[in-house]
Amino acid sequence: MREDDSNWFPRWEEELPPPEELMPLSQTLITPDLAMAFDIRDPHHHQIPQPPPPSSNPLPSPSNPTQPNSADFADSAELGSGTAGDEPARTLKRPRLVWTPQLHKRFVDAVAHLGIKNAVPKTIMQLMSVDGLTRENVASHLQKYRLYLKRMQGLSSGAGAGGGAAAAALAASSDPATDHLFASAPVPAHFLHPTARPNSDHFLPFVPVPATLQHHHHHHHQQHMAAAAVAAAHPQLQPQYHRQVGHFGSPPNGSFEHPFLSRQPQALHRMGGAPMQHNPVSGYVEDMESANAAGGRKIQSTMVSIL
DNA sequence: GGTCTAATAT
DNA sequence: CATATTAGAC
């Protein structure tokens, strides 16, 4: 009963955030109005450029991840009044969310560390901590992602060589163009291997649970929720920072939960905000592994034991 | 009631 | 085709 749904949140932090990049997603979602206001680009030419693609190394230099000084802009605080007469977001429809490789990477990381079992839209969304990202966004993407995984399962039996990405390239056999985004993010082997449980079993100091999310009772086989708390405990993943924090110095000991948490950009709220992204193909791959699968597919030379 | 998933629509 | 939206089930 608790063999796998209670010991997943153990020290995920130790292995979750790959040092590669912790929070390059700061500017993940930008409202069109905001973008316009900032002169980023014309809404008509929906070809939003990438703000931080300096030269070739999108890799962030989070010398200090603890301080998410989102070099970008997207300050939730004043988004509401940035543009004139567009506050009512609830009734406005957001532009389509563009899943950039970075965003997807975040998604995959969240899913990977949550485990397929616990990877449900809400939890994933919370773990991703991307402001503006809605549960629907994640749900939709998750659906597609699942199909992708399933597809690959049928074609890759034991090709566990460090990466579904490789398998993807093989399975796809039709260029990464078929997998687009998915090829850009390494698929954890366990995803295709329900039998294995890479989830480390360690402990997290304490897991604060958002009071607003503390409601769950009946259910037999689904997920439990609590991961969000983990994310909250680690602002490293927070692309956006909030200034209104209670400032708490919680000792890393037997604390079970904290009554308050603030991770969602309430300041940003669902205002006319709309998730806007940069070009999905422009600043593609940022990882070398993904680069392999996405750009040059020359990895399929060795593995042939697929039957 | 909320949320998840599948299906369907844009 | 990628994402959004809806509908049904839990």
Give the pLDDT score at A204: 40
CA of A92 to C1' of C10 (A): 30
Whether nucleic acid strand B comes within 7 Å of the CB of A117, the answer is no
CB A230 within 8 A of CB A9: yes
Domain coordinates in residue numbering, chain A: 101-152
Q: Residue A191's pLDDT is what?
A: 66
pLDDT-derived band at A107 (thresholds 50, 70, 90) equals very high
CA atoms within 13 A on the CB side of A54: 8
Nearest residue: Cα versus C1' of B10: A96
Identify which has the larger pLDDT, A116 or A207.
A116
Residue A165 has pLDDT above 50, yes or no: yes
CA→C1' distance for A142 and C4 (Å):
13
Confidence of residue A122 (pLDDT cuts 50, 70, 90): very high
| Torsion angles phi and psi, residue A260, rounded to 5 | -130, 155
- Tell me, yes or no, if the pTM score tops 0.75: no
Q: Residue A267: count other Cβ atoms within 10 Å of its Cβ.
A: 17
CA of A100 to C1' of C8 (A): 31
Give pLDDT, residue A195. Answer: 52
A137 contact to strand B (CB, 7 A limit): no
Query: Tell me: the pLDDT tens digits for A4-40?
Result: 444 444 444 444 444 444 444 444 454 444 445 444 4
Q: In this model, does residue A182 exceed pLDDT 90?
A: no
CA-to-C1' distance for A141 and C6, Å?
A: 16
Residue A151 confidence (pLDDT): 82
Q: Report whether CATH 1.10.10.60 matches the domain A101-152.
A: yes
Banded pLDDT at A169 (limits 50, 70, 90): low
A146 touches strand B (CB under 7 A): yes
A151 strand B contact, CB < 7 Å: no
Between CA A121 and C1' B5 the distance (Å) reads: 10
